[in-house]
Amino acid sequence: MNKKIITVLFSTVTLFCVVLILTSCKENQEKTNTMTTSNTLLKEWTGPYGGVPAFDKMSITDIKPALEIGMKQHLEDIDAITANTEIPTFENTVVPMEKAGEVLDRVQRYYGIWSANVSSPEFRKIQGEMAPVMSEFQSKISQNEALFSRIKTVYDNSLIEPLEADQQRVVQLVYEGFAMNGAELDAEKKARYAAINKELSSLYTNFSNNILADEENYVVYLTKDQLSGLSESMIKSMAKIASDKGQEGKYAIPNTRSYMSPFLTYSDERELRKQVWTNYYSRCDNGDEFDNNENVAKILKLRKERVGLLGYDNYADWRLQNRMAKNSENVMNLLNQVWKASTARVKEEVADMQAVANANGDNITIEPWDYSYYAEKVRKQKYDLDSDEVKQYLQLDKLTDALFYVAKEVFNYKFTPVPEGSVPVFQEDVKVWEVSNIENGEYIGLWYLDPYARKGKRSGAWATMYRAHSTFDGEKTVLASNNSNFVKPAPGEPLLVSWDDATTFLHEFGHALHFFSSEVRYPTLNSGVRDYTEFQSQVLERWLSTDKVINQFLVHYETGNPMPKELVDKIKRASTFNQGFATTEYLASAIMDMKFHIVDPANMDVDAFERETLSEMNMPKELVMRHRTPHFGHVFSGEGYATAYYGYMWADVLTADAAEAFRESPDGFYDKELASKMVKTLFAPRNSMDPAEAYRLFRGRDAKIDALMRDRGFPTSK
């Protein structure tokens, strides 16, 4: 065959291959386009209020393909940035990064709802499959050399010719985020870094799912003669749960804090209290398929290895570098200072409880499952304060109205219920309100409330932001939610909650108000500094005990009469009651979090390390950590609070100090000028400025720990 014929044949084959490739690409693109238009999770949000998530059209079969397409499109957005041959600038590099991944971001809002609010075995299987895939995707961005090169150029140039203040902050945060996550490593270390992240993602998912499994698997059933001490509303709720589980005529105690806590406080059945306590605090520590000790050991080793690639001795040093605390020494100084006072108070509390038990002829020594029960009796004896009496004035509906009142008085926000059915929700109990500015009528966003506990919903209370405020690419309004685990009352019954639960309700609403207050231009600036972001929620708790809230909204569920002054006075006198317990159980978890991430985890026996460390700390034997290690989801189901659980205490130093500023004002917590200053300096900037600088703008100085100690009734430094 001559060369001419060969050349013609080769050209024909080449052309045919090119046609096949182009045809395949076109078919793939058409397939992607078809999936994008048919998959609800991928679609742009439409409807009123600037577009809202189609929660009512979520289908679990859409999750996996939606995540895959979202990640693919996000990577294409990144490729477009790195393909730019112009000199890197803020406008051609950072701005498109802020826009990148909008489709995936929408998908992840739905993914988060499934994970936290409506989980199921089917979803958990998908979650397990996708966790390592999503980790690999993140590594493709965080380790993209061309992208980081452009970011570094913009960052270096900004040090010579500074940008506008908020742009400078964005560049700093983006650059530090990439550098902290291995962008400057060599190829071999990058590969290992990515592999560690992939393995961790699976471990986090497994850890979290194990907790949910143990909460679902352990239920204590009571008979009618075992209900002594429990409230009528709780009994009715327990009866319904038992009936739903096929145990008609019995009463169920699910293995969640929302049931465990009131049961330990009020039940007269000591052996049952012990059983309920044991079930709850032994979650994922039972030596079965849901045991998390091995997961914790692996997580700690991988975290240490990963930061070692970056040159850090331990995970804590790496993690704290861009926090307010800066280093583990500052954290431990704060925690140890409060620990000494709180454990001393525990001894006093236990002595008071033991005296009550002895006087009753109970012939017991106070154990952890007795603490709440006898603490309640001491509360009645010392302060003549009955928690069950207080609950009669704490109706969830009225507390919701109280939230709106505080938002109006302090933030100038108005909350208006949206017409039922006009905004899609993922569960029938979810309600939605429109949020607007009272002064100018400007629409701010929507607030979703998901109040009740149910199967598939993770325990606790939290706030979520479905859409953050930003203005750089057209103004984005806020979509935020609060999620609780109140025990749903029987039909026609009021939902009465404890003072602690009411406080938590305001706390989480504080996070939502922080979201709504945002005045930032760029999405990155809506991120939080972990040991500061709890301040905005903790400070809002202080409005619960103000006279205006008490007199208007804390009214008896039957008579409608406001809480009597003598009861209010009792609550205020008892405000530091049981602070030894509350502070110590929290500090034990915070200190353990730090200890786990400072020591070398090689060959660590997690259970033994927990026991030995608590023993060295002289942990009171009458109580346990608020979150025992095998179910410490804050720290081991992800990295959000890893070496950061101390942040609640760090933020509470700011909270107590700020609260004293309001108390010193003639108008107290309703001082319009001071409230406006707080919103402007501590809420609206989000992460657009250094938190320490922001606090100094508000207070005129740094916060002092003395206010915190006074708040909790502990001795202050002289």
- On whether the CB atoms of residues 93 and 150 are closer than 8 A, the answer is yes
Question: Quick one: which of 700, 708, 575 has its CA closest to 654?
Answer: 708
Torsion, Cα 672 675 680 682, to 10 degrees, reads: 170
Question: Quick one: which of 232, 152, 275, 209 has its CA closest to 496?
Answer: 232
Measure the CA–CA gap between 530 and 555, rounded to whole angstroms: 36
* pLDDT tens sequence across 608-635: 999 999 999 999 999 999 999 999 999 9
Q: What is the pLDDT of residue 530?
A: 85
Q: Which CATH number fits domain 396-526+540-573: 1.10.10.10, 1.10.1370.40, 2.30.30.140, 3.30.365.10?
A: 1.10.1370.40
Torsion, Cα 179 180 186 188, to 10 degrees, reads: -150
- On whether the CB atoms of residues 609 and 596 are closer than 8 A, the answer is yes
Q: What is the value of pTM for the model shown?
A: 0.87
Domain boundaries, the chain: 1-38, 42-210, 218-270, 396-526+540-573
Helices of type H across 83-101 = 95-99
Question: Quick one: which of 708, 653, 660, 684 has its CA closest to 532?
Answer: 653
> Which residues make beta-bridge pairs with 253?
220
Task: Please classify residue 316 by burial: count the beta carbons closer than 10 Å to its beta carbon, then call 0-12 exposed, 13-18 middle and 19+ buried.
Answer: buried
Buried b (16+ CB within 10 A) or exposed e, 637-650: bebebbbbbbbbbb
Q: What is the CATH number of domain 42-210?
A: 1.10.1370.40
Q: What is the pLDDT of residue 26?
A: 52
From the DSSP assignment, how many helices (H) and strands (E) are in the chain?
28, 7
* pLDDT tens sequence across 377-389: 999 999 999 988 9
**DSSP per residue over 487-552, as a string?**
PPPPTT---B--HHHHHHHHHHHHHHHHHHH---SSGGGG---TTTTTHHHHHHGGGGGSHHHHHH
In the chain, which stretches have pLDDT less than 50? Answer: 1-25, 28, 32
